[in-house]
């Protein structure tokens, strides 16, 4: 994983999706953990290194892997 930029999963939007970026690059909108895993794969993270709760790899803003809606919604 060394040399791999940290992926940022932004807070849930009103639609429930979460924007995913790496550096200044927008990877897309995730609607679940499977989407985040796909974005990590596209960013070059090896399957054995995909630890979604590792803050060195993924910066979850507004929640974590289990949060897919804004507080008070769903």
What are the pLDDT digits (tens) for 5-64? 689 999 998 877 999 998 889 999 999 999 999 998 888 888 888 889 988 889 999 888
pLDDT at residue 1 in the model:
44
pLDDT at residue 4 in the model:
57
Tokens of 49: 């290194």
Residue 25 CA to residue 35 CA, distance in Å, equals 16
**Alpha helices, DSSP H, located in 3-43:** 33-42
């Amino acid at each position: 994983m060394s040399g791999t930029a940290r992926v940022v999963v932004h807070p849930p939007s009103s639609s429930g999706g979460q924007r995913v970026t790496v550096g200044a690059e927008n990877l897309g909108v995730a609607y679940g953990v499977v989407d985040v895993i796909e974005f990590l794969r596209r960013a070059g993270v090896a399957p054995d290194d995909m630890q979604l709760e590792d803050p060195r790899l993924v910066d979850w803003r507004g929640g974590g892997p289990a949060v897919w809606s804004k507080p008070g919604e769903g």
